């Protein structure tokens, strides 16, 4: 049996290239319909330029237009001119159908609606594909901060919005913490925390299972985070981040003008938030595990393994660039006697108090570590001996004052002995720097305790205090 040939495309001619005709041309652009000719007596009509771009024959005289119309299946007249309709009916062959008036408008409306539906489906599929790409990327990354930025970029693309942020719930303090932001000025990050308020916008968002759409925050009765108002935010769609029934935070998408985000975008943001919350929680637990691997469990300072890694790393960097690197070693004086008298729990509490004091004294660029039972180290990049010695002395005085500051926790006066050494003045490599600071520490111990000793001054009493 002979194979049937596919039907040929519908051949259409268009009279009238104004707004309606131009819209019809646009709506039919991706269809299989073959447009054989376009006619409009106005050369500046918008549809004329569109026809030229697509290589469609253009006529400005109806008589010249009628010749190619004889090969068309359908002539659509959107001019609204009865005279044009009469001339087409009189001159065209009976097999050529003419649509004018209401019929032409109906065709245009059906074509426009079909195209709009196709565009909406394409947009929805593109948004869902973007969420899928995010899911793949999140499964591959091990960096929590990179994940925050990826989630935020995807959310802004899905909602076609200029700004947004990710805020996490700190369960310990009951505060929201800004984790990532895009599209805001630099000072936006200066307000990193805010407390949940009963009846406030943040509380309202967290209590909902689906995204919250706010077309204009100035019309709200609930208290609004002043950070949003200060940044000029007017409209918001916010999706709660929940992982296994636990509130993780909120994904915010913002605009600086009043706007009602479309329901489809909000729905897809809800899907994005569901997956993102699980992925972010997984990465948070992974990062917590990593942190625990390099952290002393009692004091929350770096542990000895992490300290030795950083010491080698910073020593190599200091030698490569010819920069100073100082190391302070310190030891609680008579800690064994304290432990024996008051018990291990009191001893652990003292170690925790000392660790908190060290954290309060050192800079953010320094690394504080617990390297033994009552032994601690402070690694100070880009620091000369004199500055390190001043830090050591301040720490010695702070520790000596603990018994007065925390009488209910510190059972007797406690002190520390400290040693200071600096690369390249006192050592050339990591092992020698550690040994030099340690030698200075034990010189301080032998010299009577509760003092600071700098490595070259091993025979001296140390830094005056």
- What per-residue confidence (pLDDT) applies to 3? 55
pLDDT band at 111 (very low <50, low <70, confident <90, very high): low
pLDDT of 71 over the 90 cut: no
As a whole number of angstroms, the distance between CA 104 and CA 84 comes to: 14
Q: Residue 275: what are its φ and ψ, rounded to 5°?
A: -70, -45
- What per-residue confidence (pLDDT) applies to 154? 93
pLDDT of 131 over the 90 cut: no
Hey, which CATH number is domain 141-289, 3.30.565.10, 3.30.450.40, 3.40.50.300, 1.10.3080.10? 3.30.450.40
- What per-residue confidence (pLDDT) applies to 206? 86
> What superfamily would CATH give domain 304-457?
Reverse transcriptase/Diguanylate cyclase domain (3.30.70.270)
pTM of the model: 0.55
- For residue 253, the surrounding DSSP H or E stretch is strand 246-255
Q: What is the pLDDT of residues 23-40, one digit of tens each?
A: 888 878 777 889 999 999
* Two tokens, residue 216: 């204009």
Report percent pLDDT > 70 for the chain: 93
- What per-residue confidence (pLDDT) applies to 157? 93
Q: Do 46 and 40 touch, CB atoms closer than 8 A? A: no
pLDDT of 294 over the 90 cut: no
Of the candidates 388, 367, 365, which has an alpha carbon nearest to the alpha carbon of residue 378? 367
- What per-residue confidence (pLDDT) applies to 105? 66
Residue partners of 334: CB distance under 8 A and separation at least 6 = 449
- For residue 209, the surrounding DSSP H or E stretch is none
Long-range contacts, 336-343 (Cβ 8 Å, 24+): 338/411, 338/412, 338/414, 341/411, 342/411
For residue 374, indicate whether it is catalytic.
yes
Which of these is catalytic: 133, 374, 384, 431?
374
Q: What is the pLDDT of residues 384-424, one digit of tens each?
A: 999 999 999 999 999 998 877 767 777 777 899 999 999 99
pLDDT of 350 over the 50 cut: yes
The domain limits of the chain are 11-110, 141-289, 304-457
* DSSP 3-state of 292: helix
- What per-residue confidence (pLDDT) applies to 450? 94
pLDDT of 102 over the 80 cut: no
- What per-residue confidence (pLDDT) applies to 2? 52
Give domain 11-110's CATH architecture. 3-Layer(aba) Sandwich (3.40)
pLDDT band at 229 (very low <50, low <70, confident <90, very high): confident
* Two tokens, residue 295: 């952290």
Q: What is the mean pLDDT of residues 294-304?
A: 90
* DSSP 3-state of 34: strand
């Amino acid at each position: 049996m002979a194979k049937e040939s596919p039907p040929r495309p519908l051949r259409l001619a268009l009279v009238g290239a104004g707004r309606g005709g131009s819209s019809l041309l646009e709506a039919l652009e991706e269809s299989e319909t073959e447009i054989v000719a376009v006619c409009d007596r106005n050369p500046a009509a918008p549809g004329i330029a569109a026809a030229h771009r697509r290589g469609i024959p253009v006529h400005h005289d109806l008589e010249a237009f009628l010749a190619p119309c004889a090969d068309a299946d359908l002539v659509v007249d959107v001019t609204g001119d009865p005279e044009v309709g009469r001339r087409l009916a009189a001159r065209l062959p009976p097999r050529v159908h003419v649509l004018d008036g209401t019929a032409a408008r109906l065709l245009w409306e059906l074509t426009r609606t079909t195209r709009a539906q196709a565009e909406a489906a394409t947009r929805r599929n593109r948004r869902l594909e973007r969420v899928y790409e995010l899911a793949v990327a999140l499964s591959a990354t091990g960096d929590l901060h990179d994940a925050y930025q990826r989630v935020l970029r995807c959310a802004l693309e899905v909602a076609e919005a200029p700004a947004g942020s990710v805020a996490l719930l700190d369960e310990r303090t009951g505060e929201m913490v800004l984790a990532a932001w895009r599209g805001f000025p630099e000072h936006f990050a200066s307000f990193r925390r805010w407390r949940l308020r009963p009846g406030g916008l943040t509380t309202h968002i967290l209590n909902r299972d689906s995204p919250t759409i706010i077309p204009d925050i100035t019309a709200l009765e609930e208290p609004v985070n002043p950070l949003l108002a200060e940044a000029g935010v007017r409209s918001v769609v916010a999706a709660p981040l929940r992982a296994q029934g636990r509130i993780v935070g909120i994904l915010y998408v913002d605009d600086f003008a009043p706007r009602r985000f479309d329901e489809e975008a909000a729905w897809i943001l809800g899907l994005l938030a569901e997956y993102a919350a699980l992925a972010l929680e997984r990465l948070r637990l992974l990062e917590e595990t990593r942190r625990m691997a390099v952290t002393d469990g009692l004091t929350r300072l770096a542990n000895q393994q992490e300290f030795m890694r950083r010491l080698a790393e910073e020593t190599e960097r200091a030698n490569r660039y010819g920069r100073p690197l100082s190391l302070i070693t310190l030891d609680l004086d008579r800690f064994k006697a304290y432990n024996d008298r008051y018990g291990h729990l009191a001893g652990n509490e003292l170690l925790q108090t000392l660790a908190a004091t060290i954290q309060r004294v050192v800079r953010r660029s320094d690394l504080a570590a617990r390297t033994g039972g009552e032994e601690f180290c402070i690694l100070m990049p880009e620091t000369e001996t004199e500055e390190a010695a001043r830090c050591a002395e301040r720490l010695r005085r702070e520790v000596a004052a603990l018994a007065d500051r925390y009488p209910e926790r510190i059972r007797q006066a406690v002190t520390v002995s400290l040693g200071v050494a600096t690369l390249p003045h006192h050592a050339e490599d990591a092992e020698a720097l550690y040994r030099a600071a340690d030698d200075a520490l034990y010189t301080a111990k032998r010299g009577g305790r509760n003092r600071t000793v700098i490595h070259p001054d091993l025979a001296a009493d140390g830094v005056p205090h």
